[in-house]
Amino acid sequence: MTKSYEDLPLTPIADTPSTMNLTGLWRVVRPLVDKSKCKKCTTCWKFCPDAAITLVDGFPVIDLNYCKGCGICAHECPSKCIIMVKEGEA
């Protein structure tokens, strides 16, 4: 929403985390993690350009609010525990 000039700072200083941008909406394919096959190697976490993967007990948790579906995690996973599926399927 457009703010009144009176409510704006002197100059546009960006001070809000980019988590305000739900870039997950861009996604057409979605990663699915098969925890049973995961060896906790952290490769997917390491290569995620969007820092959208966090490690919980060593397992990857993908934040679908931000994952753009690039598929790097699936492509790089050595144990092939991540697959990409079309949004709306599976």
- Residue of the chain from 30, 32, 33, 66 that contacts another protein (CB under 8 A): 66
Cα distance between residue 11 and residue 42, in whole Å:
41
Q: Is 79 in the site for another protein (CB under 8 A)?
A: no
Q: Is 90 in the site for another protein (CB under 8 A)?
A: no
Q: DSSP of 22-59, one letter per residue? A: -GGGG-SEEEEE-GGG-----HHHHH-TT--EEEETTE
Q: Is 23 in the site for another protein (CB under 8 A)?
A: yes
In the complex, least distance from residue 60 CB atom to another protein, rounded to whole angstroms: 11
Task: Write out the two tokens for 43.
Answer: 């490769």
DSSP three-state, residue 59: strand
In the complex, least distance from residue 80 CB atom to another protein, rounded to whole angstroms: 13
In the complex, least distance from residue 79 CB atom to another protein, rounded to whole angstroms: 14
Identity of the residue, 58 or 79, whose beta carbon is nearer to another protein in the bound complex: 58
